[in-house]
């Protein structure tokens, strides 16, 4: 009898656990279905043993998949986005208590974004600090610190992953979707301004868009990756000797002038998206490429 009783107790425990898990799955599915209806997504319920999966495709090429699952460590919502080129800089954001693994995985330096609430809550790792900071303007960093204090984010040139250790409501899932979309649609490499430059025609490269502008020789402006660091460069063909104040004129734009037998290059230390500076750089290259007389430059 004791053996039979034990088996009955174990069986009852398994049945209760299965019933509880089934109820939890129904709850998750109902939440995901509500989000799918609001966001015009598709829901795969997952059958008896799988987890519900929500897929949302946007017209700008962003695809987001949201799944909900549980372990002995807690309940989680995971957001995985596939994003079009050029994507984002390599970046990992984790709560301050999760620093060890992040540092070992990435092996990169800590980055502060400049908002105390965010910097005290998260550790940010990345290879290109200046560009990573552009992912976290004050409003987004504040929202992250307030609503996603225990979440983790990873992003690179083609993906974004957000892991949120709570499953509460459809509104919570939508806030996660909005965070991922905001990151995916950000402009850390300063590409938007390129299409706004006077007389610019855009050319798509392997990763980055370049603006082509007319001049004595064609001028090309856009981001260039060198040694893992992305910086904006303006380039044109070298024609002859430079005037003595060429370097000073370029320095006034916050940039440096590099020369070779074939090319003149104006380089900024990181991404530059001030249209006035970029337009001035193009005009300066036109003057430098036209001959030795620089004239007045402002």
At 162-185, the pLDDT tens digits run 999 877 789 999 999 999 999 999
Instruction: Tell me the sheet residues that pair with 159.
Output: 82
For tokens 């949302």, name the residue. 56
pTM for the full predicted model: 0.84
Q: Specify the pairing of strand 219-226 against strand 229-237.
A: antiparallel
Any idea what DSSP says for residue 85?
Answer: T
Cα angle: 83, vertex 84, 89; to 5 degrees? 70
Q: How far, in Å, CA of 88 to CA of 160, rounded?
A: 8
133: its two tokens: 């900071």
- List helix spans (H) across the chain: 2-39, 99-106, 116-121, 129-133, 138-147, 170-184, 246-251, 275-290
19 pLDDT tier (thresholds 50, 70, 90) = very low
Q: How far, in Å, CA of 178 to CA of 186, rounded?
A: 12
pLDDT on residue 219: 97
How far is the CA of 269 from the CAs of 124, 208, 212, 224, 289, in angstroms? 21, 17, 21, 11, 23
Give the residue-averaged pLDDT of 265-278: 97
At 88-121, the pLDDT tens digits run 999 999 998 755 444 444 455 689 999 999 999 9
Whether residue 9 contacts residue 2, with contact meaning beta carbons closer than 8 Å, is answered with no
- List helix spans (H) across 185-290: 246-251, 275-290
pLDDT on residue 2: 62
14: helix, strand or coil: helix
239 pLDDT tier (thresholds 50, 70, 90) = confident
């Amino acid at each position: 009898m004791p053996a039979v009783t034990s088996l009955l107790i174990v069986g009852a425990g398994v049945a209760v656990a299965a019933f509880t898990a089934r109820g939890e799955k129904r709850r998750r599915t109902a939440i995901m279905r509500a989000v799918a209806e609001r966001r015009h997504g598709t829901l795969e319920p997952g059958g008896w043993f799988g987890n519900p999966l929500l897929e949302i495709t946007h017209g700008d090429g962003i695809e987001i998949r949201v799944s909900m699952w549980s372990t002995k460590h807690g309940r989680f919502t995971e957001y995985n986005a596939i994003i079009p080129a050029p994507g984002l800089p390599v970046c990992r954001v984790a709560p301050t208590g999760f620093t060890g693994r992040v540092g070992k995985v990435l092996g990169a330096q800590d980055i502060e974004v400049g908002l105390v609430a965010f910097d005290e809550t998260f550790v940010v790792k990345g290879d290109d600090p200046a560009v990573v900071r552009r992912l976290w303007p004050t409003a987004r960093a504040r929202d992250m610190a307030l609503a996603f204090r225990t979440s983790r984010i990873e992003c690179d040139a083609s993906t974004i992953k957000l892991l949120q250790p709570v499953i509460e409501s459809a509104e919570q899932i939508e806030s996660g979707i909005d965070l991922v979309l905001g990151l995916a649609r950000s402009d850390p490499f300063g590409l938007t301004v390129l299409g706004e430059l006077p007389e610019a025609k855009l050319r798509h490269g392997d990763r980055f868009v370049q603006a082509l502008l007319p001049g004595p020789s064609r001028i090309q402006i856009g981001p260039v990756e060198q040694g893992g660091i992305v910086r904006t460069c303006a380039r044109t063909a070298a024609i002859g000797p430079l005037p003595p104040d060429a370097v000073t004129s370029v320095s006034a734009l916050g940039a440096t002038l590099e020369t070779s037998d074939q090319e003149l290059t104006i380089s900024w230390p990181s991404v530059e998206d001030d249209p006035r500076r970029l337009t001035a750089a193009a005009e300066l290259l036109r003057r430098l490429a036209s001959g030795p007389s620089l004239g007045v430059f402002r």
